[in-house]
């Protein structure tokens, strides 16, 4: 059985690593804030002092960090992933980054004799806890097959989309669409409220028609009560919207609806909602 590493134990990484440990895998963990390792150590994981130590100790190392800057730092900084990388080692980055970041990390890993797979996920806190994430992979196909048993513990569906960068692009398209949908749901709830309609009834109507979807049914009732328990932080959604708009620029594809949604997330972040759930954008809509 391969030895796994896991770097980055935030909302998502904590739950994903826990599922690997509970499934009986040998897992070594690291997090910049060391006390976040404690729940996993209690489950049976081992702890390393640096990303390089984790990489050196495992066959396949997973990473889940917040943004491109963090992903690059994790890889290239002193005592980072590259310092523990050698022939035969494998690195699977689950973080949501732009394609250029994924390609840069892939090139550096392969230069050290290692293998790389990008595998950003569609899903937030609850799917991470339940092991029902969707993995959007690009890169080394042999590594994709080798990592699949572990990915299947953490997720319900795996896609290999082609070369490195394709997973990053797919994830940005998915999150861009989700971010615009969240703004549309907020505007619908706000307009209903200001015209004397009941929010709960509106959500019931949604659930019976073509726009029924899990996000509306899960987030809608909480939003109507002004509650935003953090499953996917608003600051991360805004980062993904920004990266998606950059991708649109590169592809010469206008994205006016996404740009308007991004502006609302920026406003919500500036008003103190950065660490709230991304559904808290409703506070600047209503």
Q: Is the pLDDT of residue 172 over 90?
A: yes
pLDDT for 70-106, tens place per residue? 999 999 999 999 999 999 999 999 999 999 999 999 9
What percentage of the chain exceeds 90 in pLDDT? 100
Q: Determine the pLDDT at residue 251.
A: 98
Task: Give the separation between CA 149 and CA 64, rounded to whole angstroms.
Answer: 18
Q: Is the pLDDT of residue 140 over 90?
A: yes
Q: Is the pLDDT of residue 135 over 90?
A: yes
Given the residues 89, 125, 171, 269, the one annotated as active site: 171
171: annotated active-site residue: yes
Structural domains in the chain, CATH included, are 3-162 (3.40.50.720), 169-285 (1.10.1040.10)
Non-local (6+) Cβ contacts of 258 within 8 A are 176, 179, 180, 241, 244, 245, 248
Count of residues in the chain: 286
Q: At 123, is the pLDDT very low, low, confident or very high (cuts 50, 70, 90)?
A: very high
Other Cβ atoms less than 10 A from the Cβ of 157: the count is 13
Q: At 1, is the pLDDT very low, low, confident or very high (cuts 50, 70, 90)?
A: confident
pLDDT average, residue stretch 50-56 = 97
Task: Give the separation between CA 26 and CA 217, rounded to whole angstroms.
Answer: 37
DSSP single-letter state for residue 132: -
Terminal-to-terminal C-alpha distance of the chain = 53
């Amino acid at each position: 059985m391969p030895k796994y590493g896991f770097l980055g134990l935030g909302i998502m990484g904590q739950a994903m690593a826990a599922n690997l440990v509970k499934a009986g895998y040998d897992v070594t963990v690291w997090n910049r804030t060391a006390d976040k390792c404690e729940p996993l150590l209690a489950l049976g994981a081992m702890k390393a002092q640096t990303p390089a130590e984790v990489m050196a100790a495992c066959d396949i190392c997973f990473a889940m960090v917040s943004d491109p800057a963090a992903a690059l730092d994790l890889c290239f900084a002193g005592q980072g992933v590259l310092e523990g990388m050698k022939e035969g080692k494998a690195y699977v980055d689950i973080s949501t980054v732009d394609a250029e970041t994924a390609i840069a990390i892939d090139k550096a890993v392969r230069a050290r004799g290692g293998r790389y797979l990008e595998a950003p996920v569609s899903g937030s806190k609850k799917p991470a806890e339940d092991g029902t994430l969707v993995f959007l992979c690009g890169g080394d196909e042999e590594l994709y097959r080798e990592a699949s048993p572990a990915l299947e513990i953490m997720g319900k569906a795996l896609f290999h989309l082609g070369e490195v960068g394709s997973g990053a692009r797919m994830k940005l398209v998915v999150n861009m669409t989700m971010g615009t949908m969240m703004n549309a749901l907020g505007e619908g709830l706000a307009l209903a409220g200001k015209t004397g309609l009941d929010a709960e009834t509106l959500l019931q109507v949604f659930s019976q028609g073509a726009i029924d979807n899990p996000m509306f049914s899960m987030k809608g009732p909480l939003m109507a009560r002004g509650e935003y328990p953090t499953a996917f932080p608003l600051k991360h959604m805004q980062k993904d919207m920004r990266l998606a708009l950059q991708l649109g620029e590169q592809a010469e594809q206008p994205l006016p609806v996404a740009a308007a949604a991004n502006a609302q997330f920026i406003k919500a972040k500036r008003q103190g909602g950065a660490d709230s759930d991304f559904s808290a954008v409703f506070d600047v809509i209503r």
